[in-house]
Amino acid sequence: MDFTKPETVFKLENIRNELVKMEDSIIFQFIERSHFPTNHNVYIANNEKLPLGKFDGSFLDWALMHLEITESQLRRFESPDETPFFPDKILDSILPSINYPQILAPSTESVNYNNKIKNMYIKEIVPLVSKYDGDDANNYGSVAMTDIQCLQSLSRRIHFGRFVAESKFRSDVELYTTLIKNKDVDGIMEHITNSAVEEKILQRLTTKAEVYGVDPTNKDSERKITPEYLVKIYKEFVIPMTKEVEVEYLLKRLD
């Protein structure tokens, strides 16, 4: 998939390959997060244990914002598949723009689920993948950086629903135009849902978790992530939120 060549972006095989690669990244980042406790202090806004001056937010928010400011100057958010958590803070790149062609609808920038993704990650995923429920002040920085990697990968995967939606729209413009004009949310959801594909994703995740989640050289080693938890994360959060992104994108597709 090459974003400078739109014809490569909407090939279903290319989209599928990208989604499979994202699974591997997300799994290994969850495994990395499993080395640390929950560390709730990292997520508490205006926490006296982690004073951040006049900054209004959590330690994770502060770290993520500053990292995105730097990454924006390195051209990260010019890429059509990247969505910032702090879009009002990013700066112009110091590198020359690549000038990507317009691939998605102009309204795509307004489809930003990152706040919802962050809340879901903290409340639902962190308790599942952490080593234990507790606090370790020595690892606040490591936890925040690992969380950022998890969040950015989840964001890219979930917002990739915009490309999936655009591909589906182009495959049947007449059908989707009618559904969009009628604001038929249920109809759109019905047509973008492919239960067989979703089941294959869950089966593939189960296999990957069984292989990646334990040291293959030591059968007695502690499992870092269980297939049950990984399937739960995708089935209850990642896939449904991706479809929410698809629906919102399509509802705005004709704007």
Residues with active-site annotation:
16, 157, 168, 194, 198, 242, 246
Contacts of 48 (CB under 8 A, 6+ apart): none
- The residues, any chain, with a CB within 8 Å of residue 46's CB and separated by 6 or more, are 52, 56, 57, 58
Which among 188, 128, 125, 129 is positioned nearest to 157, based on CA atoms? 125
How far apart, in whole angstroms, are the C-alpha atoms of residue 27 and residue 24? 5
Mention every residue, 6+ apart, whose C-beta is less than 8 A from residue 198: 235, 239
Torsion of CA 200, 203, 208, 214, to 10 degrees: 170
Q: Which amino acid is at 165?
A: A
